[in-house]
Amino acid sequence: MTLLRRRGLFAAVVALLMAFTVGSPPAAGADDPWWEPTARPAADSQINVTGEPLSGTDSKGRVRGFVDGHNHVMSNEGFGGRIICGKAFSEEGVTDALKDCPEHYPDGAFALFENVTGGADGHHDPVGWPTFKDWPAHNSLSHQQNYYAWLERAWRGGQRVLVNDLVTNGLLCSIYARDRGCDEMDAIRLEAKKTYEMQDYIDKIYGGKGKGFFRIVTDSTQARKVAAEGKLAVVLGVETSEPFGCKQILGVPQCDKADIDSGLDELHKLGVRSMFLCHKFDNALCGVRMDEGTIGTAVNIGQFLSTGTFWRTEECTGPQQDNPPGGADAPAEVSKLLPAGVKVPSDNGGKCNKRGLSGLGEYAVKGLMKRNMMLELDHMSVKAAGRTMDMLESANYPGVLSSHSWMDNGWLERLYRLGGFKASYMSPAESFAKESAGTKELRKKYGVGLGYGTDMNGVGGWPGPVGPDAPNAVKYPFRTADGGSVVEKQRTGDRTWDFNTDGAAHVGMVPDWIEQIRLSGGKETVEDLLGGAESYLRTWKATEGHKPEPNLATDAGASASDTEWNPFKSYAPGKAVDGDTDTRWASGWSDDQWLRLDLGSPRTVGKVSLDWEKASARAYRIEVSDDDKKWRTVWSTDSGDGGLDNAVFSPVQAQYVRIHGVTRATKYGYSVNEAAVYSR
């Protein structure tokens, strides 16, 4: 969920609030097109797309189609039930689904969220069906954008994969109008349940179980089959601030490893296959990539209200950086939520969040890998994302995603090298084309397609109108990018939407947006987008098939040049290979020190992973030997930065591996929590 970047009071409030009748189907005739429902209610939205959806695969078995890697189909069920007004579907029909929240009547004067987020001037017409005078709109952040028929139009326009991120935020729920409780996991459960119910609803209007276009999938094989059939494969993800109750209060975790295990097991059982570990507020698992400016100040206040702590920043140690929170003043309406005497800390100039991936966060990353689930890097602080990438690289784990432009692009090649997938936020067509052109060579190098993340229902703001006379104005009717269908202007009830004058008002306008990308000089971008579904499915398939590489150093014989002596705790060499990251080997306090591992017999060695304690090496080398006498260097560095190092080199045969310190990074010795040796 992405925050609309605007100035003034409204932007601050956005950031604070967000951080975050069908009858019996008639018998279908033999000639009825499978892509048309047999029992759509008489009163309902039109699709305004004609032609059979593209199905099948190419000669290499690849599917062709778009992937929306980040959408919130059911977010109206989160945040206490009153932030997003309207439903994605209703058994009672469109008149019940597309109606405003009760407090928005009669003229929108009491629609606080809508009014402060700029979607209205203090008033709006709350009537949805059939007039839709004021909503949905590209700048209305509190109204339903994912009505099932609009999703249907996106599918008919060429989309083949949709990631439905179940989302909520307990703080936002607690300070706004609500009609239910604020437990985040309860909201996630409800949103998952409603997604399955919507699948059943669509099946009913399409003539029976399994016949609808909207197919929830739980593995990549199912997803590939659905996409090849020309239907929409729907994947469940999770983006919430305190998963499994893992918030932190004054730095103290409110969950433990058992909570993480039971939570991951429950999500997997619900069908969830990807998730974010943190979102907007620092939690017990990881620090976040902060918002900046006025929004950053407001979200920082939200962080304090939720956790009792403000963000703490520092200078970044590498080229990647978080969004600097800045020193903007918070509007009085937001500041008054703080206790008397409490102020947002002044900006110290740091651009990186001090909080990275915690020990519980590392346990959660390992838990996702153990369950072959995909992990989202977006919203993680640079420190957390870097540590996570190190862990994934150590395990050669491909299940890593960036779904809506909240990851520093400095990580992109590492993501692609692992086999991960990238989707960019649904920005204005010209900007999207320009951004994608900047990463074209990387996609070409790794043979991957591109996704988009619409973030619909995500309080983000979407592309506005360019005007009917703009050089890239969409000309109706147009043919879909896959060549299979013809698209007219979208009509729901009495309202017709034109992308040139209305922008991306709802998810059904995605085909129009893609056409505008093509008209904005983005023909190659559209081709890469058509390869997005295939790339996403490859990442998912590789994630499912991942098996941990055997660690050749497990319980290996270990010796060292020297060991720090402590009368109360052992720092013996064997502590570096005991599988426990809470123990460590520590050397004497001098530069020339080594840790030697005996693998028991000659083995193929191609990678050494070192999890350093704070006392790390600035310069060191990896050496191997067949006889423990003649040593040869296979890898070295003079720019070690601590943390988790992955030394990768051409595989060699060796029985002995030696980590040889040359220059210490601190005044202490060398200290290794865990050393692992792999064949590759």
Give the model's confidence band at 49: pLDDT under 50 very low, under 70 low, under 90 confident, else very high. very high
Beta bridge partners of 170: none
CA 192 to chain centre: 17
What is the 3 state secondary structure string of 397-408?
Answer: CCCEEECCCCCC
pLDDT > 70? residue 25: no
Diameter over CA atoms, the chain: 86
pLDDT > 70? residue 7: no
593 and 472 share one domain: no
Q: Is 632 part of a structural domain of the chain?
A: yes
- One-letter identity of residue 678: Y
Mean pLDDT score, 126-136? 96
421 and 280 share one domain: yes
Q: Is 121 part of a structural domain of the chain?
A: no
Which of 543, 571, 605 terminates a domain? The answer is 543
- pLDDT number for residue 540: 98
Ranges of H-type helices in 424-578: 429-438, 440-446, 499-502, 510-519, 523-530, 532-545
- pLDDT number for residue 565: 92
Nearest to 150 by CA among 490, 616, 549, 444: 490
pLDDT > 80? residue 349: no
Give the model's confidence band at 333: pLDDT under 50 very low, under 70 low, under 90 confident, else very high. low
585 and 468 share one domain: no
Sign of CA dihedral 271, 275, 278, 284: positive
Query: Domain containing 407: what range?
Result: 21-89+143-288+349-543
477 and 594 share one domain: no
79 and 202 share one domain: yes
pLDDT > 50? residue 474: yes
CA distance to 142, 414, 420, 527, per residue, from 417 (Å): 39, 5, 7, 21
Beta bridge partners of 559: 596
- pLDDT number for residue 22: 31
Give the model's confidence band at 132: pLDDT under 50 very low, under 70 low, under 90 confident, else very high. very high
Q: Is 323 part of a structural domain of the chain?
A: no
246 and 269 share one domain: yes
Nearest to 75 by CA among 183, 188, 186: 188
76 and 184 share one domain: yes
pLDDT tens string 418-443 = 999 999 999 999 999 999 999 999 99
CA 363 to chain centre: 19
Distance between CA atoms of residues 207 and 210, nearest Å: 9
Q: How many domains does the chain have?
A: 2
pLDDT > 90? residue 15: no
Q: Is 105 part of a structural domain of the chain?
A: no
280 and 204 share one domain: yes
Which of 515, 543, 571 terminates a domain? The answer is 543
pLDDT tens string 635-670 = 999 999 999 999 999 999 999 999 999 999 999 999
pLDDT > 80? residue 28: no
Give the model's confidence band at 1: pLDDT under 50 very low, under 70 low, under 90 confident, else very high. low
Q: Is 482 part of a structural domain of the chain?
A: yes
263 and 164 share one domain: yes
Q: Which residue has the higher pLDDT, 51 or 325?
A: 51
388 and 243 share one domain: yes
pLDDT tens string 241-258 = 999 999 999 999 999 999
Instruction: Provide the mean pLDDT of the chain.
Output: 92
Distance between CA atoms of residues 316 and 408, nearest Å: 13
Question: Structure tokens of 607?
Answer: 């990678």
Q: Is 129 part of a structural domain of the chain?
A: no
pLDDT > 50? residue 18: no
- pLDDT number for residue 118: 66
Q: Which residue has the higher pLDDT, 526 or 18?
A: 526
533 and 564 share one domain: no
Give the number of residues written for the chain: 680
pLDDT > 50? residue 317: yes
The enclosing domain of 615 has a CATH number of 2.60.120.260
Strands 313-314 and 617-625: unpaired
394 and 509 share one domain: yes
Distance between CA atoms of residues 530 and 471, nearest Å: 24
Question: Structure tokens of 442?
Answer: 């990387």
Sign of CA dihedral 372, 378, 379, 380: positive
The enclosing domain of 51 has a CATH number of 3.20.20.140
Q: Is 299 part of a structural domain of the chain?
A: no
pLDDT > 90? residue 222: yes
Q: Is 408 part of a structural domain of the chain?
A: yes
